[in-house]
Amino acid sequence: MNQAMNPERHASDTQAIVVDEVFPHAPDIIWKALTSGELIGRWLMPPDGFAPVPGNRFTFQTKPAGEWDGTIHCEVLDVVPNERLSYAWRGGHESNDDGYGSKLETVVTFTLARAEEGTRLRLVHSGFVLPKNDTAYRNMSEGWKKVVERLDAIVAEEASSQTRH
């Protein structure tokens, strides 16, 4: 898609990871899994200080690399209940030139839309600067697919527990 809009690609082009899935559940159940710290910890990583409120800052902790302590600094940018959640995703360190832990200034956006089969979840993780963030882009492209599979399992559990009550 970027090539069609900008045929003259530059060495420092930015890329986005896009995962698009349809869940056989209502948007409110998926929204709960996207905005509950306890549930986020089950499908992604345990967040520290998460609240679905614009301006709220929170962190995730992952494997450190070089000068980077493994902390992912996030800030909630946009919240439209049952429709969209967006947050800044910043990590890495300048000294990690282009491998794991390179400096990352990205945005993660979850968009929910009703679909005939349930709800379409579109995850876009944007702002990867290539080639600097090439390792993160490759690793996270695979990682987000697995995360969405885990999210699907958590949403299914939540949906079945709601129908039992």
Question: What does DSSP assign to residue 148?
Answer: H
pLDDT tens, N- to C-terminus, the chain (165 residues): 333 344 444 445 899 999 999 999 999 999 999 999 999 999 999 999 999 999 999 999 999 988 999 999 999 999 999 999 999 999 999 888 768 888 999 999 999 999 999 999 999 999 999 888 999 999 999 999 999 999 999 999 999 987 765
What pTM was estimated for this model as a whole? 0.89
Q: Which of 43, 82, 42, 41 is nearest to 58 (CA)?
A: 41
